[in-house]
Amino acid sequence: MPEVRTRGGARIRYDDVGRGEPALLFIPGWCTTRASFQKLLPRCSAFRRILSVDVRGHGESEGGDTDFDSATVVEDLLAVVAASGARQIVPVAMSHAGWWALDLRRALGPSRVQRMVLLDWIATEPPPAFLHALRGLQTERWSEVRDRLLQGWLKGLDDAAIERFVRDDMGAFGEAMWARAGREIEAAYAREGSPLRAIAALEPMPLTMHLYAQPESHDYLAAQVNFGVEHPGFHVLKLPATSHAPALEVPDMVAAGIEALVSAREVPIHAGAVPA
């Protein structure tokens, strides 16, 4: 398995499969691992080179024994990109790893990061209840708050594989990592306002696709569709899935959406639909 040594000597491990540019950089979110992309690897690597990373302190990567922040994670991801030799990348970011995708675009510039794929993110301003949960993760009540979050991920779901993923992958992380996640995600929303606002501020704005399954809210989808009308480079697809892990639940649709976005010409695409 490929690996890079980064600041402090931590080994960051990743999969490197498939061929071709731009390479897809799969980035799992806080308190999960690259197992969240396991069903996408064989589907996407048939068309593209895939770099699928375990971020610092997660999965098979090291460096989680001391505190670190999002800036350190971005440094690690930049080291992976440099070691891979990829000239262009398309970040495919799960949930709040989207903040790292935005920072990669800022660091590498528009010529190397021309497109982004975001999976199941809170793209608008976060609901007050979510901010409350982020703060709760940073208190002695962290395990209670974490359990409620994981139960929300499993609500209405009848899929043993995803249930195991949530319970055994996400549920395996302890207090320090969940508190760190709460701190860093809260700080990102406080700094940026919302992902949509941050995306709009990129010059030029990258061609961006948000593929998501939850929440089942007309207003949430409408806000993104309206944003896409104002910013033609942004596209959103609401997936027919019940979990917050569409890459595991409907991998064929997610892989098709990724490939459509990556292969599309930079022409206006109707928001709400996968580009042809």
CATH of the domain at 254: 3.40.50.1820
- Residue 210's nearest CA partner among 192, 242, 189, 235 is 235
Q: pLDDT band at 157, cuts 50/70/90?
A: confident
Distance between CA 66 and CA 132 in Å, rounded? 25
Q: Which helix (H) or strand (E) holds 230?
A: helix 218-230
Count how many residues are written for the chain: 276
CA-based radius of gyration for the chain: 17
Least confident of 58-62, 181-185, 199-203, 243-247: 243-247
DSSP secondary structure code for residue 268 in this structure: -
Q: Is the pLDDT of residue 64 over 80?
A: no
pTM score:
0.94
Residue 208 forms part of a structural domain: yes
Report yes or no: 128 and 189 within 8 Å, Cβ to Cβ: no
| 110 residue type, one letter | P
Answer whether residue 113 is part of any domain.
yes
Whether 140 is covered by a domain: the verdict is: no
Q: Are 114 and 98 in contact (CB under 8 A)?
A: no
Q: Extract the tokens encoding 166.
A: 């949530």
Q: Give the mean pLDDT of 240-259.
A: 94
Please report the pLDDT score of residue 193 as a whole number. Answer: 96
Mean of the pLDDT values across residues 195-199? Answer: 98
Range of the domain at 105: 3-124+194-263
Is omega for the bond preceding 22 within 30 degrees of 0, making it cis? yes
**In a domain? residue 165:** no
User: Is residue 30 one of the residues assigned to a domain?
Assistant: yes
Phi, psi dihedral angles at 15 (to 5 degrees): -90, 145
In a domain, 170, yes or no: no
For residue 55, is it within any domain?
yes
pLDDT tops 90 at residue 190: yes
**pLDDT exceeds 50 at position 45:** yes
Residue 257 lies in a domain: yes
Closest to 186 in 3D by CA, of 134, 132, 145: 134
Catalytic residues: 244
CA 240, 245, 249, 253 torsion: positive or negative?
A: positive
- Number of folded domains in the chain? 1
> Among residues 12, 38, 63, which one has the least CA distance to residue 164?
38
Cβ neighbours around 125 below 10 Å, total:
15
Q: What CA–CA distance (Å, rounded) separates 180 from 160?
A: 28
What DSSP line would sit under 95-137, residue for residue?
GGGHHHHHHHHHHH-TTT--EEEEES---SSPPHHHHHHHHHT
